[in-house]
Amino acid sequence: MSHDSSPSPPDLPGRRPLIAFAWLWVGAPLAYGLYELVRKATQLFTG
């Protein structure tokens, strides 16, 4: 009685641009924030 009722992920190649856009929407500000964090931390510790 170990029937897996969870659906498998659908193969939707049309969603690939949406997924890429979502990653950029989140990743770009995150990368900028990390860049600013490193820049200000180096200023803090190097004078």
Among the residue ranges 5-9, 16-20, 34-38, 43-47, the one predicted with the least confidence is 5-9
Give the angle 13-5-7 at the CA atoms, nearest 5°.
Answer: 5
Beta-carbon count within 10 A of 38 CB = 10
For residue 14, name the pLDDT band (cuts at 50, 70, 90).
Answer: confident
Q: Name the pTM for this structure.
A: 0.62
